[in-house]
């Protein structure tokens, strides 16, 4: 089949909530919008299988100031109060606008419950809202690379339509990268397609990353199937002999390190008998996808102990991503905007994950800002969608040396083995990080030199390249921050150093580099 | 992972092929879709949710393919259970009326865990968020 060629004012790449909001915001300005997603807008990404709550603070100045102040302090000096205020305000104003498409219900206190939404209905609503605004949605159209004007600004993207089996290219005045984070194929529910593609495409085009060291987050699930975590609230933990394990509660470092230490001794079992009683009857209606993995395994969720596992979240619930250079989420590459988990969330979460509510509010707001910003830029552009373009993609598309067989699965396994193991991630040390960097550099060099994919194979090959690239950035950034701060935990540098209270910028594909933002700004001012 | 498509229930609408976020399924040569790339299945149950005929069944283990007995699945009542819980296609006009309880239940459980841990560790206090 011949190549699909399209033109748009704004091209949105990705299909989760940030991408949905970006497309909606851009289309509302009257822009012609195309959204190209790897999967299906409605089931793609980690929102579709979840139930995101949103950071929800009424427009009362005192309440908002208190919320911002509290989260600013817990961000370890790396968050930005103006951004926090914007995220709270945009979320409060925009989310209820989904009402014609989403069955908002009561809040148990006489009002409407807006802040929490169930994933499949939320994503279906975003899809229908965008479609009604005239957005052209291309499902199963993974993007492979960005197109650049000769001056380095973004001119569109190219990819492969995997159901129709043909290449596509779309010229656009601006591009929003909303491809999600990278979970390094940990098995985390919803994350299989979250392979860091957007970061790879963007960095190949010259964009920068920030906060990649803040990539340590895990979700507890039954060992056989990743689920959402509602039932595990109040869980007790036991070893294989039935001895109760001493695991501090919560979701932070203490809890994770407690579980990690327990896993060294063998399988760990959860006991949910202390869970709030109403969960037994209404779990199926709140989180319908949580019950089947138990029912179909013959495990009585709240009455029997079962083996658990921590599934890595990488840069999904972790914080790092594309560096944002202006108030509309434009990256340092002109015409390229970043939103959701593909972008850094440090502006509101600092050195922490931020947790689900901040993350969803960030995806909504950054998506909305990026969509509006992209539409504005595209409208001002006088260039039009013709003229020569360069294709920015390289690894796995255009090998540097003779093409030969490279095992994508083995490359992914090496990346996962450096990033996901609990002992490496929760007790980072220079020596281990340096050893990992060597391995990752070797795998990357092999992909750069020899991997060449055609047709459908391009999709998996680029995913492997993006996973390895993301692992390299995370590991490299972890080495470059010789302290512990937030979710970045160095066993060899357990203290937080006041002089390192600055965001860490990472870039490069082959030769990697890092700079503290404070130094970048000092350099620019000098 | 996806374990079985009931050919006699499948209408050939291919909603599952479209809805699968991970390209596990291909359009079949006749009407029934083909499980073409099972290694890409993440056991997310989205194909079941999007199947209006309740003709596709996902086995619970994401680590390896499982063989299932179609007759036992039919007898178990599990086929389509998640879609019914979700309220899709059931005519329920207000499927999310209990959804507001998610946050309070999470908080209640977290507090219960903190109280329990403090009993055995009187010196411990929860880390600040």
The domain segmentation of chain B, as residue ranges, is 2-86, 98-129
Residues A305 and A423 in one domain: no
- Distance of alpha carbon A231 from alpha carbon B109, whole angstroms: 9
Q: CB–CB of A282 and B101 under 8 A? A: yes
In this structure, the answer to whether residues A11 and A132 fall within a common structural domain is yes
- d(C-alpha A353, C-alpha A366), whole Å: 16
The CATH number of the domain where A385 resides is what? 3.50.50.60
Instruction: Output b/e per residue, B101-129; b: 16+ Cβ within 10 A.
Output: bbbebbebbbebbbeebeeeeeeeebeee
Asked if residue A325 and residue A294 are part of one domain, the reply reads no
Residue A403 lies in a domain: no
**Which residue is it, tokens 């600013």?**
A72
Inter-chain residue contact B40 with A192, CB threshold 8 Å: yes
Q: Which residues in B28-125 belong to E strands, given as ranges?
A: 34-35, 56-58
Tell me the β-bridge partners of A382: none
Residue A520 lies in a domain: no
Residue A356 lies in a domain: yes
CB atoms A162 and B23 under 8 Å:
yes
Here the tokens at position B49 are 């949710």
Using CB atoms within 10 Å of the CB of residue B64, give its burial: 0 to 12 exposed, 13 to 18 middle, 19+ buried.
exposed
Phi, psi of A61 (to 5 degrees): -50, -40
Domain boundary among A312, A346, A363: A312
Residues A202 and A224 in one domain: no
- Centre a 10 Å sphere on the Cβ of residue B47 and count the other Cβ atoms it contains: 27
* Burial tier of A362 (Cβ tally within 10 Å: 0-12, 13-18, 19+): buried
A134 and A148 in a single domain? The answer is yes
Give chain B positions within 8 Å (CB) of A45. Answer: 21
Distance to chain B for A508, nearest Cα, Å: 29
> A302 and A346: one domain?
no
CATH class for the region spanning B2-86: alpha beta
Which chain B residues are closer than 8 Å to A234 by Cβ? Answer: 108-110, 112-113, 116
Whether this model's ipTM surpasses 0.85 comes out as: yes
At B57, give phi and psi (nearest 5°): -130, 130
Q: Do A249 and B110 touch (CB under 8 A)?
A: yes
Dump pLDDT digits (tens) for A12-58: 999 999 999 999 999 999 999 999 999 999 999 999 999 999 999 99
Please report the number of interchain residue pairs, chain A to chain B, with beta-carbon separation below 8 angstroms. Answer: 193
Q: Is residue A399 part of a domain?
A: no
Residues A486 and A370 in one domain: no
- Mean pLDDT of the region B28-45: 94
Q: Are residues A92 and A195 in the same domain?
A: yes
The CATH number for A482's domain is 1.20.58.100
Interchain CB distance below 8 Å, B45 and A289 = yes
pLDDT (tens place) for every residue of chain A, 526 residues total: 799 999 999 999 999 999 999 999 999 999 999 999 999 999 999 999 999 999 999 999 999 999 999 999 999 999 999 999 999 999 999 999 999 999 999 999 999 999 999 999 999 999 999 999 999 999 999 999 999 999 999 999 999 999 999 999 999 999 999 999 999 999 999 999 999 999 999 999 999 999 999 999 999 999 999 998 777 889 999 999 999 999 999 889 999 999 999 999 999 999 999 999 999 999 988 999 999 999 999 999 999 999 999 999 999 999 999 999 999 999 999 999 999 999 999 999 999 998 889 999 999 999 999 999 999 999 998 777 788 999 999 999 999 999 999 999 999 999 999 999 999 999 999 999 999 999 999 999 999 999 999 999 999 999 999 999 999 999 999 999 999 999 999 999 999 999 999 999 999 999 999 999 988 777 776 6
Q: Is B100 on the interface with A (CB under 8 A)?
A: yes
B 62-81 residues with CB < 8 A to A: 62-63, 78, 81
A88 shares a domain with A77: yes
Where in the sequence is the domain holding A275, given as residue range(s)? Answer: 218-312
* Sign of CA pseudo-dihedral A157, A159, A161, A165: positive
What is the structure's pLDDT at A469? 98
User: A379 and A483 in one domain?
Assistant: no
Tell me how close the Cα of A106 comes to any Cα of chain B, in angstroms.
Answer: 6
Residue A13 in domain: yes
Domain count across chain A: 3
Q: Same domain, yes or no, for A305 and A376?
A: no
Q: Indicate the residue among A255, A278, A312 that finishes a domain.
A: A312
In a domain, A514, yes or no: no
Give the separation between CA A506 and CA A329, rounded to whole angstroms: 17
């Amino acid at each position: 089949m011949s190549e699909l060629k399209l033109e748009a004012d704004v091209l949105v790449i990705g299909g989760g909530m940030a991408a949905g909001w970006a497309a909606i915001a851009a289309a509302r300005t009257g822009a012609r919008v195309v959204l190209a997603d790897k999967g299906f807008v409605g089931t793609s990404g980690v929102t579709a299988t979840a139930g995101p709550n949103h950071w929800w603070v009424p427009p009362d100045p005192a309440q908002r100031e208190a919320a911002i102040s509290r989260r600013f302090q817990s961000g370890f000096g790396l968050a930005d109060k103006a951004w926090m205020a914007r995220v709270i305000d945009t979320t409060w104003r925009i989310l209820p606008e989904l009402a014609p498409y989403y069955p908002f219900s009561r809040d148990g206190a006489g009002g409407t419950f807006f802040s929490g939404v169930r994933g499949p209905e939320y994503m279906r609503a975003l899809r229908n809202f965008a479609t009604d605004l005239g957005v052209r949605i291309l499902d199963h159209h993974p993007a492979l690379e960005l197109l650049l004007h000769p001056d380095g600004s973004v001119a569109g993207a190219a990819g492969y339509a995997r159901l129709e089996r043909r290449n596509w290219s779309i010229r656009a005045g601006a591009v929003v990268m909303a491809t999600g984070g990278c979970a390094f194929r940990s098995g985390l529910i919803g994350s299989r397609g979250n392979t860091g593609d957007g970061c790879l495409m963007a960095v190949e085009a010259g964009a920068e990353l920030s906060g990649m060291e803040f990539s340590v987050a895990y979700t507890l699930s039954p060992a056989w199937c990743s689920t959402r975590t509602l039932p595990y609230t109040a869980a007790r933990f036991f070893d294989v002999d039935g001895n109760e394990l001493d695991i501090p509660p919560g979701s932070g470092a203490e809890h994770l390190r407690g579980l990690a230490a327990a896993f060294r001794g063998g399988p760990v079992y959860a006991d949910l008998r202390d869970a709030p009683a109403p969960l037994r009857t209404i779990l199926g209606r709140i989180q319908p996808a949580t019950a089947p993995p138990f029912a179909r395994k013959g495990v009585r969720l709240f009455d029997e102990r079962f083996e658990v596992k921590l599934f890595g979240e990488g840069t999904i619930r972790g914080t790092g991503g594309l560096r944002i250079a202006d108030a509309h989420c434009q990256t340092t590459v002109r015409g390229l905007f970043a939103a959701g988990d593909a972008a850094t969330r440090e502006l509101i979460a600092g050195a922490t994950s931020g947790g689900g509510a901040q993350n969803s509010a960030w995806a909504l707001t950054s998506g909305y800002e990026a969509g509006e910003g992209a539409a504005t830029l595209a409208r001002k552009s006088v260039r039009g969608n013709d003229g020569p373009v360069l294709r920015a993609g390289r690894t796995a598309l255009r090998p540097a040396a003779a093409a030969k067989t490279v095992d994508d699965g083995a490359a992914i396994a090496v990346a996962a083995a450096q990033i996901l193991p609990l002992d490496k991630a929760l007790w980072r040390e220079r020596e281990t990080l340096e050893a990992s960097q060597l391995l990752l550099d070797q795998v990357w060099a092999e992909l750069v030199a020899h991997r060449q994919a055609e047709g459908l194979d391009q999709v998996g090959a680029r995913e492997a390249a993006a996973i390895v690239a993301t692992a390299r950035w995370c590991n490299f950034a972890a080495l470059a921050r010789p302290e512990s701060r937030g979710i970045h935990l160095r066993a060899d540098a357990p203290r937080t150093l006041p002089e390192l209270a600055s965001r860490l910028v990472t870039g490069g594909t082959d030769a990697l580099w890092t700079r503290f933002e404070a130094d970048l700004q000092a350099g620019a001012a000098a | 992972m996806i374990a079985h498509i009931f050919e006699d229930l499948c209408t050939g609408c291919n909603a599952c092929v479209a809805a699968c976020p991970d390209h596990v399924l291909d359009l079949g040569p006749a009407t029934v879709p083909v499980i073409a790339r099972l290694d890409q299945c993440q056991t997310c149950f989205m194909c079941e949710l999007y199947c209006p005929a309740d003709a596709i069944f996902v086995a619970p283990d994401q680590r390896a393919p499982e063989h299932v007995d179609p007759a036992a699945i039919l007898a178990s009542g599990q086929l389509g259970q998640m879609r019914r819980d979700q309220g899709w296609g059931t005519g329920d006009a207000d499927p999310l009326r209990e959804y507001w309880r998610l946050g309070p239940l999470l908080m209640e459980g977290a507090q219960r865990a903190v109280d329990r841990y403090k009993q055995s560790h009187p010196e411990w206090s929860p880390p600040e968020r």
